[in-house]
Amino acid sequence: MSNKCLVIVGGVAGGASAAARARRLCEQCEIIVFERGPHVSFANCGLPYFVGGEIVEQDSLLLQTPETLRARFNLDVRVNTEVVAIDRATQSVKVRDLATGREYDQTYDVLVLSTGASPLKPPIPGIDRAGHFTVRNIPDVERIMAWIKDCQACRAVVVGGGYIGLEMAEQLKRRGLGVTVVEALPQVMAPLDAEMAAWLHAELKANGVSLHLEDGVAAFEAPKSGESARASVVVLKSGKRIEADTVVLGLGVKPETSLAKNASLELGALGGIRVNEHLQTSDPKVYAVGDAVEVRDGVTGAWGIIPLAGPANRQGRIAADNIFGRPSHYEGTQGTAILRLFKLTAGCTGANEKSLRKAGIPFQALHLHPGSHAGYYPGAEPIAMKILFAPDTGRLLGAQAVGAEGVDKRIDVFATALKGGMTVHDLSELELAYAPPFGSAKDPVNMAGVAAQNVLAGDVALAQWNEIPAPTIAGRAHHSVRAGTETATDGAHGVTRPTSEFSGGDFLLLDVRRPDERAKGFIPGSIHIPLDEIRARMNELPRDREIIVHCQSGQRSYFACRILAQHGFRVRNLTGSYRTWKTAVGV
């Protein structure tokens, strides 16, 4: 490629990294970067925090400018310049200067497409009304901030509960606006499984954000008499009407593939540009990277569109390596991601239950609630943690975590283990840094591995939170077992009455927590025998029925399961126990 021309369409993570890597590999090559917008390299993941004021200076979002890229890397960067067509036969692109309207052709020896993704705007009536915004680049957030200031907006509706939607909800709340989040799915944050996303639902509500789930938008309407919305009245499919002074559309993104499609490059079934492991398209002279391409899921092997900055950056580097004769492979995307939502952090890596079921991959799911650091050191916070692993080999398939502290470091360890093909046995043996302010001698990652080993060894069988029905009545029955007598107290009226055992399935639900814990909340229909009384009160438990045991987080109920199993009872441990069940069912 020496003394030849590399043309890159699009900057930001993928295109900019490809350009910089290309220059480091070839000083003589001509490198031209065309960027349709005004900024070639900016921190699009930081845009919500600029809206909320956590990032004060706009210049902080600019990672590189055309001038700095020219000075350091000798790159010819042309912003406000759109590539409108590719002619593969002549190896040229048609370019339009958006400031002057002038069009010209630019030849290339190799072309890299880093066209990114555009926000989804489905054909909902009124979606293009004034005061509606998407969040993709710096001009977008400038328009949002100007609108809020000019119309003195007080109420915002965020449509969509993905990463951008939730970050914008947090930041708009930080600005002092009343915020409503509308999500058509039963949960926010689709990469998380339902019971893990439930922690975020509770956090939104705890911070005064109104949350509407399983209720998509039917229309955006002008306010009627008596309504004072400055942007729209958001009409939900249920008929609810929500007045909004500004609307942020966080409905996801779709790959920008019009250039590739019009050039007859192969697209995948999901609409992204199809590339091989070297990031080449169906034309070997054309590479593609970033949010516009379809990639292989690192766990399931299925094609997917995973718009994340980290993978895009790596893809840009790998494409440049291959272009300049350094064979390099892109091995797929794990989908490792993290989100801050008020006081909580949520992270995930690898597959979730939905994707594993779709791929037909067997798995076992395990929940636990370890502390973020040593419990005797002040300030330890519980982490709601979930791992998914193969039931035969114990290979790690995915991990999710939500908590106020320590989530990031654990998700990064899980992501590394996943990349390395590690098993839960390996997790139990990892030697991780320990001092009381930072962790425990047995780190939460180690604890997850050990708990999974217990399952694989047959020491304990698991029950999942969704096997235990949610309460359907206002008064929750309090059950106790003592010398064969069972009574119930209606939580609403304080009336003691006879009652039956748990009737949600052909099993008995046993709570082994302390009485003071149970007094703060319990699963209706469960019976109560504290762990330390189990051996003395086994005669109160049936031997002809399965017993599902729970405690607060799953550890003490595991101890109870081991005791009961060795005395001939059929038992399973409710993984994640009361904490997971309570949050998942929303009681």
Do residues 507 and 564 both lie within one domain? yes
In a domain, residue 421? The reply is yes
Q: What is the mean pLDDT of residues 258-263?
A: 97
What CATH number does the domain containing 535 carry? 3.40.250.10
In a domain, residue 127? The reply is no
Coil, helix or strand at residue 425: helix
Residue 333 DSSP symbol? B
Do residues 446 and 529 both lie within one domain? no
Do residues 443 and 521 both lie within one domain? no
Do residues 260 and 221 both lie within one domain? no
In a domain, residue 453? The reply is yes
Q: Where a domain ends, among 457, 478, 505? A: 457
pLDDT at position 429 is 97
Of residues 277, 284, 280, 282, the one with CA closest to residue 261:
282
pLDDT at position 546 is 97
Of residues 464, 461, 440, the one with CA closest to residue 367:
464
pLDDT at position 1 is 66
pLDDT at position 505 is 61
- What tens digit of pLDDT does each residue of 70-93 get? 999 999 999 999 999 999 999 999
pLDDT greater than 50 at residue 560: yes
Please report, for residues 323, 366, 459, 464, the alpha-carbon distance to residue 575 in angstroms, rounded to integers and kept in the order given.
49, 6, 14, 6
| C-alpha–C-alpha distance, residues 29 and 73, integer Å | 11
- What tens digit of pLDDT does each residue of 350-408 get? 999 999 999 999 999 999 999 999 999 999 999 999 999 999 999 999 999 999 999 99
Instruction: Go through 332-342 and write b for each residue having 16 or more CB atoms within 10 A of its CB, e for each that does not.
Output: bbbbbbbbebb
| C-alpha–C-alpha distance, residues 329 and 452, integer Å | 32
- Give residue 354's domain range: 343-457
| C-alpha–C-alpha distance, residues 147 and 140, integer Å | 11
In a domain, residue 338? The reply is no
Do residues 366 and 453 both lie within one domain? yes
CA angle 282, 284, 290 (to 5 degrees): 70
Residue 279 DSSP symbol? S
Do residues 499 and 530 both lie within one domain? yes
Of residues 33, 29, 36, 37, the one with CA closest to residue 17:
33
Of residues 333, 301, 298, the one with CA closest to residue 315:
333
Quote the distance between the C-alpha of residue 225 and its chain's center. Answer: 40
Q: CB 244: neighbour CB atoms within 10 A?
A: 29
- What tens digit of pLDDT does each residue of 484-533 get? 333 333 333 222 222 334 444 689 999 999 999 999 999 999 999 999 99
Q: Where a domain ends, among 435, 457, 479? A: 457
pLDDT at position 495 is 28
Residue 461 token pair: 């069988």
Do residues 481 and 427 both lie within one domain? no
**Are 16 and 64 within 8 A, CB to CB?**
yes
Q: Give the mean pLDDT of the chain.
A: 92
- Told to judge if 561 belongs to the known catalytic residues of this protein, a careful annotator would answer no
Q: What is the mean pLDDT of residues 142-167?
A: 96
Q: pLDDT exceeding 90 applies to what percent of the chain?
A: 87
Q: Where a domain ends, among 437, 457, 477? A: 457
**Are 47 and 165 within 8 A, CB to CB?**
no
pLDDT band at 470 (very low <50, low <70, confident <90, very high): confident
Of residues 248, 250, 246, the one with CA closest to residue 231:
246
Do residues 156 and 231 both lie within one domain? yes
Quote the distance between the C-alpha of residue 328 and its chain's center. Answer: 28
**Are 18 and 319 within 8 A, CB to CB?**
yes
Q: In one letter, which amino acid is 582?
A: K
- Residues pairing with 296 in the sheet: 303
pLDDT greater than 80 at residue 125: yes
Any long-range contacts for 447-451 (C-beta under 8 Å, 24+ apart)?
Answer: 447/368, 447/370, 448/366, 448/368, 448/370, 448/385, 448/387, 448/399, 448/424, 449/424, 449/425, 451/366, 451/368, 451/554, 451/558
Q: Among the options 45, 151, 551, 561, which is catalytic?
A: 45
pLDDT greater than 90 at residue 476: no
Coil, helix or strand at residue 500: coil
Residue 573 token pair: 């441990």
Coil, helix or strand at residue 291: helix
Do residues 83 and 187 both lie within one domain? no
pLDDT at position 403 is 98
Do residues 18 and 56 both lie within one domain? yes
In a domain, residue 168? The reply is yes
Coil, helix or strand at residue 292: helix
Give the number of domains in the chain: 4
pLDDT at position 498 is 28
Helix segments in 299-421, DSSP class H = 309-323, 353-359, 407-419
| C-alpha–C-alpha distance, residues 459 and 155, integer Å | 53
In a domain, residue 122? The reply is no
Half-sphere exposure of 478 (CA within 13 A, CB side): 14
What CATH number does the domain containing 54 carry? 3.50.50.60
Residue 176 DSSP symbol? T
Do residues 190 and 96 both lie within one domain? no
Do residues 25 and 92 both lie within one domain? yes
Q: pLDDT exceeding 70 applies to what percent of the chain?
A: 94
| C-alpha–C-alpha distance, residues 563 and 567, integer Å | 7
In a domain, residue 328? The reply is no
Residue 316 token pair: 């840009």
Residue 487 DSSP symbol? E
pLDDT band at 13 (very low <50, low <70, confident <90, very high): confident
